[in-house]
Amino acid sequence: MNKALVLVGGVVAWAVVAATAILVVFNMGEKNQVLMFLPILAVVVAAWFIGELVTQRVFTGHEKGV
Amino acid sequence: MAFLQRTFEKRDLRDPGFIRAIFSNTWLAPLWLAARLYLGYQWLIAGSHKVWGENRWIAVSGPDGLALRSFWQKAIAIPEQGKPPISYDWYRHFLTFMLDHEWYRWFSWVIALGETVAGILLIVGAFAGLAALAGAFMNFNYLLAGTAATNPVLFVIAMLIFFGWKVAGWIGVDRWLLPTLGTPWQPGPVFRADAPLE
């Protein structure tokens, strides 16, 4: 897999986290500070999975002989 | 002078296991994530009120920072009865100096953008330790200016994240950022000519 593409994908994944947090602040503000965690947590977990399952595997694959 | 030599000789005192487990082990990364998200959201909300909206501090019609000027003026005021908001004279002199020189015009930008950026960095886990330290520094100043509110709690959480900087951003951008950039005492591949990025 193209490493540059994977790197860009990882960066975009975390940029989506930042954008989601800003959107949540704009749309939900301080109304429900428990509920507001859910969308942010969801995108954080998604970005983390992309990093662990895709980015990490592609970038360390050659060290493991994959 | 042997006792001086004995007292100040170089010794590495190791932290106990539970301290290393909390601040240096990735198994508690989910807990650090929760702390980061909470603290980051608090800063992002605080910053957003100052950057956007009708009551924003910056980019307003007229001079910037009038809200900050009002805050500083209240902070340095000495009431006829009761205690003043600021306990330390040197801090009151510091705020008075900034007021006299109209520093609130540009300092409002520093605070508004600083709070917003610190919030975003904590949420995505990029330079989480430094972002937490910057947040703690802001809490410290608000406390010195006599504003308690949520500052004591946020300060404690920020300092915990700062001490756990190695693992606080493990579920975040620091997972890849720190190994790539390294630290001032141990530069990463980006700053080492002998180490390829791949």
B44-103: pLDDT as tens digits = 998 988 888 777 888 778 777 888 888 888 888 888 888 888 888 899 999 999 999 989
pLDDT of residue B197: 57
Chain B positions in Cβ-Cβ contact with residue A13 (cut-off 8 Å):
none
- DSSP type of residue B149: T
Report the C-alpha gap between B68 and A55 in whole angstroms: 44
Non-local (6+) Cβ contacts of B130 within 8 A are B121, B165
Q: For the full predicted model, state whether its pTM sits above 0.90.
A: no
Query: Which residues share a beta bridge with B183?
Result: B186
Banded pLDDT at A66 (limits 50, 70, 90): very low
pLDDT of residue B146: 84
Q: Judge: A21–B126 Cβ closer than 8 Å, yes or no.
A: no
Neighbours of B163 (CB within 10 A): 16
Q: Judge: B124–A17 Cβ closer than 8 Å, yes or no.
A: yes
Banded pLDDT at B125 (limits 50, 70, 90): very high
- DSSP type of residue B10: -
Question: Any chain A CB within 8 A of the CB of B44?
Answer: yes
**pLDDT exceeds cutoff 70 at A64:** no
Chain A residue with CA closest to B36: the answer is A41
Report the C-alpha gap between B166 and B176 in whole angstroms: 12
Query: Which residues share a beta bridge with B186?
Result: B183
Question: Any chain B CB within 8 A of the CB of A50?
Answer: no
The answer for B 59-118 residues in CB contact with A (under 8 A) is none
Residue B133 is assigned to a structural domain of this protein: yes
Non-local (6+) Cβ contacts of B179 within 8 A are B188
Expressed as residue numbers, the domain containing B163 is 32-51+64-189
Residue B24 is assigned to a structural domain of this protein: no
Residue B160 or residue A4, greater confidence? B160
Report the C-alpha gap between B148 and B25 in whole angstroms: 33
Non-local (6+) Cβ contacts of A59 within 8 A are A3, A6, A7, B198
Query: Across chain B, what does the average pLDDT equal?
Result: 88
Contact between B64 and B57 under an 8 Å Cβ cutoff? The reply is yes
Chain B positions in Cβ-Cβ contact with residue A3 (cut-off 8 Å):
198
Q: Which of B47, B175, B23 is nearest to B110 (CA)?
A: B47
| ipTM for the complex shown | 0.82
User: What is the number of structural domains in chain B?
Assistant: 1
Question: Any chain B CB within 8 A of the CB of A46?
Answer: no
Contact between B50 and B104 under an 8 Å Cβ cutoff? The reply is no
Q: Hey, which bits of B42-145 come out as E strands?
A: none
Residue B152 is assigned to a structural domain of this protein: yes
- Which one of B53-62, B128-137, B181-190 scores highest in mean pLDDT? B128-137
